[in-house]
Structure 1
Amino acid sequence: MNKTNRWIYAIAGVIVLLFAGLIYAWSVLSSPIAAEFTSWSKGALSLTFTLAMSFFCIGGLVAGLVADKVRERYIFIVSAVLFLIGFELVSMISSIGMLYLGFGVLAGLGAGCSYNAVMGSVTKWFPDKKGLISGILLMGFGIGAFIIGKVYAGLLGSFGWREEFKALGIIVFAVIFIGAFIVRKPTAEEQKAYAVEDKKSEKSTSEDFTTIEMVSKVSFWLYFVYAILLSAAALALIAQASGIVTETAPALAAGSIATIVGLISIFNGIGRVIFGGLYDKLGQKKTMLLNCGLFLVSVLINIVAINSVSLPLVVIGFIFFGLSYGGVTPTNSAYIMDFYGVKNYPVNFSIINLNLLLASFGGTLAGMIYDMQGTYLSIFMIMIGAIVLATICTLLIKRPAKGK
């Protein structure tokens, strides 16, 4: 079999995740909704995204649990239908409860199902490139919100937001539905053919751990805490990114602020590919330590930028920050496959992604701290503390062994 064939599944997976990642464009998608329903508070609207992230995790977990029982095609089809119904419902909302159900519950579940189905299927084609393929796939998921969000915002002048939601629902449905008939897992023979190059690697485990076995290992919990700390720190900065730009350049136009903040998303996508590839080359510990170091550099640059009121330094800091945050997600995938095997990867991967439920409070906490202190420096100091703790977790991680 021609080995280049596997890239067909990788490309299809990236396209599916590009559209499934639309839920991360909530800040852009919600702007015209907030303008129409002025009686809805920011907190009430923000709960929509919190629900979407929660049901994203639930959708991923459910997809992982049924991965060995049903073909991934059916998971994709369910995801496509959930998006279609969810976005159609949002286009007809008259109450915030309908918004919660349409976007928070249905679209969140749909995104989680697609995410897990793609990662659980396509990564198995690349046992020799666990990190790289994770980074490539997750780049699609990361930049999808930025690209489609820009298109959505640009078309608002020509179409109403309700019409755009209807159109998005149909488009996302079509893309994921078509992907259902392209993306698949490799057969045992196909997987062995691609694993030949990986046989001599000491970095790869030959053991498969069940989910119960995985969560009983200290190595899992150390990594879980690492992921929470870095993701929470990242979400804390993202939540305050616009304010940081405004503080260093008060006269800057809103469009320019959005572009600078958008650099985080762009370099987040680039960072996913870079760190995914680095995991394959450097291994788990060096990659995680490098990620912690880059996070620290990005925070220090932003501290200097705030103190010196330097917009160019903010831009540089955001670029470094995007790259470092991009390193967390592909490491999640590569780490789970590397340490706990391929057999139970879909379920195990969905479990590690539950760190997002706790990390999502990073943005809320950052907002509360800023309201109390009136300065971003306190937030940065807490971020440095989180990075130090994540570094300690990294140094303590040891490869697990069955029965120990």
Structure 2
Amino acid sequence: MSFKIQTLNKIAAVGLNQLERDVYEIASDINNPDAILVRSADMHEMQLSDNVKAVARAGAGTNNIPIPELTEKGVVVFNTPGANANAVKELVMLALLLSSRPAIEANKWANALAGKGDAIPELAEKGKSQFVGPELMGKTLGVIGLGAIGAMVANLALHFGMEVYGYDPFLSVSAALKLNKNVKIAETLDTLYAKSDYITIHVPQTNDTKGMINASSIKTMKDGVRIINIARGGLINNADIITALDSGKVAALVTDFAAEELLNHKNVICLPHLGASTPEAEDNCAVMAAKELKDFLEFGNITNSVNFPKTITDNPIPQGGTRLCISHKNIPDTISKFTTILGEAKLNIASFINQARGDVAYNIIDVDGKVTDDIIAKLAACDTVNRVRPIFAEKDEHIEATSDEN
């Protein structure tokens, strides 16, 4: 058993070290890879080999990956939710402070005093009044999105003495349990907008959320609101927020997504996408992504996929047997076709796991005996199947088939 992994960005060594070199060949320039490890590289225009079985994003966002196209080909896309959450949380808190206290401009002004010698202390005292800003204590923070990062931000803001409102229509039970009981849940975004002195956004960019901060939503906010966006640049309509900044409706914007129209605006702080730029976060993401690929390639297990259902088995592959990993459209009667084909071949099914997620289904089928090329071809020929991947108990050559549609 051996696999080829292509890296599209620099991946932390501690992550790559999860993949044994006698099993995995890893390089940025590699032919016909089995899987891809990526951070921020744009994959939308890439021509991928049909051999690619999985893509692992060392980070949470997957906007740089063509997920619908890969799903149709049976390619599993992984991400690493929560691995960089602490790094982002800390940057959000820094952004909150910077949106209130003009420390960056104050530092630039103080540096301009160079050369004035003994007069500097007195000049600094006289000039400091132009850099006054409000405290966070006693103010209200609105947190849009209460996932791993949003929940951590909400909880930490309470320790700054802030009143915190959160909004998340998809709040899970596990996420809710991580929230401090003093975080108030807003029933609507308009409620959150109306109450908040500061707003921080922690949602993915989708068709529903793109441009969610715009002229209409800003109109419902408090005068002088301060907005933090360390999530995705497209969540804010830049033209609308510049208008609001110029009028004073919005007092400050701190964004991790620089754009021409935002740069050098007196009330905007643009950062160069620093959210997960800590050695700890890069290590955490790399380790999680590598482990996800390893578990999938060697055992067929799926954890933290953005396009396939979570599917895990602890069962060993039967001695001398075959594990069939089959992705297909979630359509009735598909599974019966698999069992019919295997039954006609006199192959006993030792275990069968089927999971579905919307229109996508995935199966892990353990069979007593080696599944031959012609049986794999028959399974792949089923009109709902995207991919059939066998994993053999012994060190036999891997055979893979995809449907003719792909």
User: Could you say which structure has the higher helix fraction?
Assistant: 1
Bigger relative contact order, structure 1 or 2 (CA pairs below 8 A, ≥6 apart): 1
The normalised TM-score by structure 1 is: 0.20
User: Per residue, is there more strand in 1 or in 2?
Assistant: 2
Flag the structure with larger Rg.
2
